[in-house]
Structure 1
């Protein structure tokens, strides 16, 4: 008998737990007393849709207490099922509302689903963030190498956060602008004396276009002098010119040697021809004697 009572008691407890789990009455009562209207059946159906009712109700309560309007449980469920972070979205909306930033629930969810931290983005929009640009190396017109370090103060551009370029683009553009400004300086002394001129010029170029940030200021933290690139280039050019001159001189010497060899060959050829001609004289004389031509020629001369 006692065993049966224990079994029945256990079944009753399990049944009550299941009922309270399926019908989160406590959560519904909390929502009602917090000024949030949610149907009890909606909370039950959330279980079947694999949506945590506690997260939805707590998000609604947080938004309602902060004065955020036009947020329903259906919108919150949709964003949760899409893989969004409800807590970050609601907190971001609250921070934006307190800071008088224009942000709608649709914008916040789009930023969140785009993979960005929407809460951090809003916080950076309220409190500007400093980006450290790696060392930038440029060369002035007089050939002096300059190494600068820059700091860029930005804040989030909420309207361009979805699809806008990130921090690395800001660094690349600022570095390019500083290098260009250094390259147009007639002398490195101008850069050292007035680094703020570079900052103003780069800032005026609108480098934040198409990015998720708005550049507030660009500050040159430090400038160091590097190598004398101009002198090094001149030395390298002189060395290259010397190599070219040596190569041309060697070419002329080789041509002179070749011409000398060619002349010697011609002389040797001429000498060989003379020797060959001299060698043919005795044979010609012998032939003439044999033919009697030489005697006939001598008699003809005597008769004359």
Structure 2
């Protein structure tokens, strides 16, 4: 069985490893995003999926635009029976969807139709969901609209962030692919259509969604901070300086009389800030141009006092 795999970030690597190690499959090509400049030195860096493909001697294609005729032709020449995608980063055009005889399937990090789109893990954590999951689906021309093949549900715990769920869902997606492949390759799949009326979208996180609005309840801000960790990070401003907020204690809801954003206490546990409902205790933050540090360490440096207001 000839397989082409499409993926880009670390999330997709375990799924590629499953395919490489599956005896009934030959991965004849990998498609990933072009190398991009990374870091302060802007070094041109291959994607994690490309690095994994090179380890196994698999040919790699990196089209800037997959829908270009020459890119489609390169794929057609590989003669895949099936295309498997995971966080590839481009929508597959109809010309590509029509190439493999068994179709194209996608490993999506949510329980569809909830959280279609590019940031399903971020939105699940930011919205305070207590569970999410992975869905394997047939790909269609719409955004994550195809019929569902299989799924698995995972809990989101209080200590989870987008980063920890990224790792858990990556592993779960690879295992789900391994469990689904026998029926898929044997033609025993009974796919189920999505309820499109129940669809919830999760577009990429905007800069506005990163900013902390202290008038919101403390529990909502706690979820926001978890959902934006490890990237891009929630932030507030103080004295015109941007402060990234990386972690907070889970708050207890209670009404407070202080103006939202006001520092009401400083201790070894962190910086306590009034919100629209309850107190949020910041435990780790990062001043602009510096490394992340314990909030108490930042406050006890002498610059931050009770009564200070974050904006």
Whether the TM-score (by the shorter chain) exceeds 0.5 is no
User: Which is richer in helix?
Assistant: 1
Q: Which has the higher strand share?
A: 2
Looking at CA atoms only, which structure, 1 or 2, has the larger radius of gyration? 1
TM range (shorter): under 0.3
TM-score, reference length from structure 2? 0.24
